[in-house]
Structure 1
Amino acid sequence: MITIDAVSQTFKGRSGPVEAIRDISLTIGEGEFVTVIGRSGCGKSTLLRMIAGLLKPTAGSVTVAGSPVREPRRDVAMVFQRPALLPWRSVEDNVMLPVEIFGWRKSEYRPRAEHLLEMTGLSGFRKRLPHELSGGMQQRVSLCRALIQSPKVMLMDEPFSALDALTREELAVELQRIHMDLGTTIVFVTHSIQEAVLLADRVAVLSSRPGHLRRVVEIPIPRPRTFGHNAHMEQVAGISAELHTLLLSDDHLQASPQT
């Protein structure tokens, strides 16, 4: 579904070029859920923007469903850290926004909007305005807005990081259920090791800047998964410890003198 082939990205800085990502190659299968973790500034969001077609790689290429990504695509949706809802539009109208932007028939998509709102527990809030909702509910609306176009790929850039711990956990479980129901390919950027293990089929670990792919860790834990007590707690703890060690060892490598 997604092929990232030897991708690098260098930005122009005030004091010279800044290398954000170096030579990343990764293939993500159809319906797969991949999380990307790494230290701040390692290029996680930059990688997501290149997959979305919002940023062209300095080197290498990105393809989605066999087609080169050169610009934003209708079959690729993105969810950001902030929900960015239009404050004067109701919940339902915010969800329907992509339909209006792309010029599709509202009558064809209204039932899907109603289904998505019901799926995320928002059917009773369809006429509410964003300021009448909690942060978690607003992010649910943002998720519905991304799903209204039935995207082949959904890119999520730390969508739960601004939420309190309990709401974040609830939404992570909710997203897992939606992914199991719809089978959308998802690439999810997070700082949270717990979140990465809960959600992912595989976790891609990036090094500190310039970000390169240190390792891809498989998560062979049956779904559905929860943060609470379950039969796989020992396995979750082991994988979490492996990811933690990878991130810490990256710090040591960065601090070591070059030979």
Structure 2
Amino acid sequence: MISLSSVSRTFSGRSGTVEALRDIDLTVADGEFVAVLGRSGCGKSTLLRLIAGLLPTTGGEITVSGERITKPRRDIAMMFQKPALLPWRTVLDNVLLPVQIFGWKKAEHRARADELLALTGLTGFEKRLPHELSGGMQQRVALCRSLIANPRVMLMDEPFSALDALTREELSGELQRVHMELGTTIVFVTHSIDEAVLLADRVVVLSPRPGRIRQVLDIDIPRPRTLGRGAHLEDVARSSAELHELLMA
């Protein structure tokens, strides 16, 4: 599905040259959930922007479904830290915004919007405006908006980082459920070890700048997962401890 071969990215400016990423080799399978974890400044967000086609690579090549990425594509959606909802549009109209942008028929996507709102617990809030929603609910709307076009790939750049701990855990559970139901291929950037263990099939640990793949850890724990008491508590704790050691090394 997603293939990165010897991908590097360097930024040049008045203050000099910064090597953000160096020789990244990674393959993400169809329907896989991969988390990218590392310290601030290691190139995690840059990596997502390269996959999205928002930035060109300095070296190497990125392909999705065998096609080289040179610009943004409709089948690749991206979700950012802030929901960036249009304040004058209702929940439903925010979800349907990509439909309007792409010039599609709204009536043909209304059922899909209702389905996504139900999937994320937002049924009954279709006519609310963003300021009437909590931060967590706003991010749910942003998630629905990202999924409305049935993207093959979802890129998520720390989408829960601005939320309180309980809301983050709640939304992690929602995202698990959405992924299990829809099977979208997801690359998820995070600073949080807990989020990575709860959500990912594999966790890619990046080194400090220039970002290189230090290790890829398989998270072979049945879903749904939780940080609380459960059948897989020891496995979750073991994976969290291993990631902690890798980041501290």
Normalised to the residue count of structure 2, the TM-score between the two structures is 0.99
In 1, Cα distance between equivalents of 2:233 and 2:226: 9
Residue in 2 aligned with 1:94?
94
Identity of aligned residues (%): 71
Residue in 2 aligned with 1:188?
188
Say yes or no: does 1:113 pair with 2:104: no
Residue in 2 aligned with 1:253?
none
In 2, Cα distance between equivalents of 1:114 and 1:192: 31
Stretches of structure 2 that go unaligned for 5 or more consecutive residues are: none
C-alpha RMSD over aligned residues: 0.6
What amino acid is aligned across from residue 95 of structure 1 in structure 2? Answer: V
What amino acid is aligned across from residue 198 of structure 1 in structure 2? Answer: L
Say yes or no: does 1:242 pair with 2:223: no
Secondary structure in structure 2 of the residue aligned to 1:125: coil
Matches within 5 A, 1:94-173: 94-173=94-173
Number of residues paired by the alignment?
A: 249
What amino acid is aligned across from residue 207 of structure 1 in structure 2? Answer: S
What amino acid is aligned across from residue 144 of structure 1 in structure 2? Answer: C
In 2, Cα distance between equivalents of 1:178 and 1:228: 20
In 2, Cα distance between equivalents of 1:93 and 1:15: 43
Offset of residue 235 of structure 1: 1.2
Matches within 5 A, 1:32-111: 32-111=32-111
Offset of residue 176 of structure 1: 0.3
In 1, Cα distance between equivalents of 2:113 and 2:235: 38
Normalised to the residue count of structure 1, the TM-score between the two structures is 0.95
In 1, Cα distance between equivalents of 2:22 and 2:203: 18
Secondary structure in structure 2 of the residue aligned to 1:163: coil
Q: Deviations over 1:100-142 (max 9, x none)?
A: 0001111110110011111111111100000000000000000
Offset of residue 234 of structure 1: 1.1
Secondary structure in structure 1 of the residue aligned to 2:186: strand
- Of 236-245 and 202-211, deviating more is 236-245
In 2, Cα distance between equivalents of 1:148 and 1:72: 17
Residue in 2 aligned with 1:252?
none
Offset of residue 13 of structure 1: 2.9
What amino acid is aligned across from residue 9 of structure 2 in structure 1? Answer: Q
In 2, Cα distance between equivalents of 1:214 and 1:58: 20
Offset of residue 239 of structure 1: 1.0
Say yes or no: does 1:208 pair with 2:217: no
**Runs (4+) of structure 1 moved beyond 3 Å?**
none
- Of 52-61 and 13-22, deviating more is 13-22
Offset of residue 15 of structure 1: 2.3
